[in-house]
């Protein structure tokens, strides 16, 4: 998913990533993190894929952090679907 | 009593001289009606920015760029862009219009999620600017409207006069009540808001085109001088530059009127704020010594 996000940024002609995050993946501005999540949200038909008030903001500062938030949100969504 | 900080070139000097005036003269660390002017918006002194960013990180507060992006989300615009001009062909104009459209679309895509963040339930500054009143996609796009008004003025000026007459088109803006109405500022504050404090601290942005330069005035009803003011100035500079580029005019000066300027003694502690200001002053003095 990190590679997908990197490609998505490149295709959208967004500013490049800003060095390397301590987690080893490319560092990004938090707003770019939110934008990437919104792109996945658009694909799965859920604009508010992540509730930002319940998110550790530091996770939005790297592609790996954003990927983990998205995975978590998609898993929760699938569980909720199965339960309903 | 009101206080006018002498106009300065950079964001860094404007911030420092404003906070010095406020925390230096008042034991409360607050002052009413403080007016600051930046003559070259966007320009900064690196040492002062670094000093403040280090302080903000230590205090667990958002860094300067994060605050700036609440006013103008620069991360979402593609770079570089050519400046709009009435003489561009439709093919040449297309990528400039696309840059604007992409910015608004990207932010609109994110809006519902952004509103889920703490403190954003009433909208964000940028959402109020591009989809007034800011809580849902489809509202009035004040920025697009202002850019469009500016473009049509330049187009009209060009069609009636020669290149020298663009200034007359600018004068015409002030003389035509219809155009002034179209070019009124960016509204960020709802008249039904009866709170004494809280979002939005920035209530109004005024834009004035004069002699082909676009000038900005911003009114803050409560400006937090340590945690927010510097980032606010950066964000306003980005916003002004974007509108100016998209409309084909030069960026002029920014004036900020803080009806309440707050040195944040009560939250951060007087001594810590004074130490920060002293460190920033040392950076400015060092800079001035380097560039006589």
pLDDT tens digits, one per residue of B72-82: 999 998 766 68
Q: Can you tell me the mean pLDDT for A33-44?
A: 94
Asked if B78's CB is within 8 angstroms of A13's CB, the reply is: yes
Q: Which residue of B has its CA nearest to A16?
A: B75
| DSSP 8-state assignment for residue B247 | H
Residues 6+ apart with CB under 8 A from B81: B95, B96, B99, B245
Residue A79 has pLDDT above 80, yes or no: yes
Asked if A29's CB is within 8 angstroms of B116's CB, the reply is: no
Is residue B67 within 8 Å of B231, Cβ to Cβ? yes
Confidence band of A82 (pLDDT split at 50, 70, 90): confident
3-class DSSP state of B29: coil
Q: Which residue of B has its CA nearest to A35?
A: B110
- By Cβ distance, the residue of B69, B79, B112 closest to A31 is B69
pLDDT of B211 reads 82
Give the CA dihedral B10, B44, B32, B181, nearest 10 degrees.
70
Helix segments in A18-62, DSSP class H: 30-43
The total number of structural domains that make up chain B:
1
Q: Which residue of A has its CA nearest to B76?
A: A14
Counted residue by residue, chain B has a size of 292
CA B279 to centroid of chain Cα atoms: 25
- By Cβ distance, the residue of B78, B102, B114 closest to A34 is B114
The proportion of chain A whose per-residue pLDDT surpasses 70, expressed as a percent, equals 98
What pTM was estimated for this model as a whole?
A: 0.87
Q: Which residue of B has its CA nearest to A12?
A: B78
Range of the domain at B183: 3-290
Write down the domain spans for chain A: 2-83
Enumerate the residues of chain B whose CB falls inside 8 A of the CB of residue A52.
113-114, 116-118, 120
Q: Can you tell me the mean pLDDT for A13-38?
A: 88
Chain B closest-CA separation from residue A83 CA (Å): 24
- By Cβ distance, the residue of A15, A49, A53 closest to B79 is A15
pLDDT tens string B164-214: 221 212 223 333 434 434 445 666 555 555 554 555 788 888 888 888 889
pLDDT tens string A49-76: 999 999 988 899 999 999 999 999 999 8
CATH number at residue B239: 3.30.572
3-class DSSP state of B273: helix
State which residues of chain B have pLDDT below 50.
158-183, 196
- By Cβ distance, the residue of B113, B118, B120 closest to A50 is B113
B113 contact A CB<8A: yes
pLDDT of B189 reads 56
pLDDT of B218 reads 92
B65 contact A CB<8A: yes
Q: List Cα–Cα distances, B233 to A23, B119, B238, B285, in angstroms.
A: 32, 20, 9, 21
Chain A closest-CA separation from residue B13 CA (Å): 26
Helix segments in B78-124, DSSP class H: 90-114
Asked if B75's CB is within 8 angstroms of A47's CB, the reply is: no
pLDDT of B212 reads 83
A4 contact B CB<8A: no
Enumerate the residues of chain A whose CB falls inside 8 A of the CB of residue B106.
12, 35
Terminus-to-terminus CA distance in chain A, angstroms? 28
């Amino acid at each position: 998913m990190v590679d997908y996000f990197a490609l998505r940024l490149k295709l959208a002609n967004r500013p490049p990533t800003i060095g390397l995050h301590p987690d080893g993946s490319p560092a990004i501005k938090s707003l770019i993190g939110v934008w990437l999540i919104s792109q996945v949200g658009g694909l799965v038909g859920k604009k508010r894929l992540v509730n930002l008030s319940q998110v550790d903001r530091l996770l939005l500062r790297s592609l790996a952090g954003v990927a983990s938030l998205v995975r978590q949100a998609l898993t929760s969504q699938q569980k909720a679907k199965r339960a309903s | 009593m009101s206080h006018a900080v002498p106009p300065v070139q950079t964001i860094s000097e404007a911030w420092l001289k404003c906070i010095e005036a406020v925390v230096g003269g008042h034991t409360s660390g607050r002052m009413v009606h403080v007016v600051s002017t930046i003559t070259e918006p966007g320009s900064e002194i690196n040492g002062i920015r670094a000093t403040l960013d280090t302080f903000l990180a230590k205090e667990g507060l958002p860094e300067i760029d994060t605050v700036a992006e609440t006013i103008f989300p620069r991360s979402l615009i593609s770079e570089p862009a050519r400046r709009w001009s009435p003489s561009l062909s439709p093919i040449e104009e297309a990528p400039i219009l696309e840059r604007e459209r992409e910015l608004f679309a990207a932010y609109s895509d994110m809006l519902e999620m952004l509103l889920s963040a703490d403190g954003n339930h009433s909208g964000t500054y940028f959402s109020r600017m591009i989809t007034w009143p800011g809580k849902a996609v489809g509202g009035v796009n004040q920025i697009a409207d202002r850019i469009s008004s500016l473009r049509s003025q330049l187009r009209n000026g060009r069609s009636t006069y020669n290149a020298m007459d663009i200034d007359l088109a600018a004068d015409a803006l002030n003389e035509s009540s219809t155009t002034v109405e179209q070019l009124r500022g960016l509204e960020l504050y709802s008249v039904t808001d009866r709170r004494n404090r809280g979002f939005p601290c920035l209530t109004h942005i005024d834009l004035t085109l004069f002699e082909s330069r676009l000038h900005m005035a911003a009114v803050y009803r409560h400006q937090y001088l340590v945690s927010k003011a510097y980032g606010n100035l950066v964000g306003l500079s980005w916003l002004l530059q974007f509108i100016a580029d998209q409309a084909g005019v030069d960026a002029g000066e920014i004036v900020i009127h803080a009806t309440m300027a707050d040195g944040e003694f009560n939250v951060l502690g007087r001594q810590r704020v004074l130490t920060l200001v002293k460190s920033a002053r040392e950076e400015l003095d060092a800079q001035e010594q380097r560039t006589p």
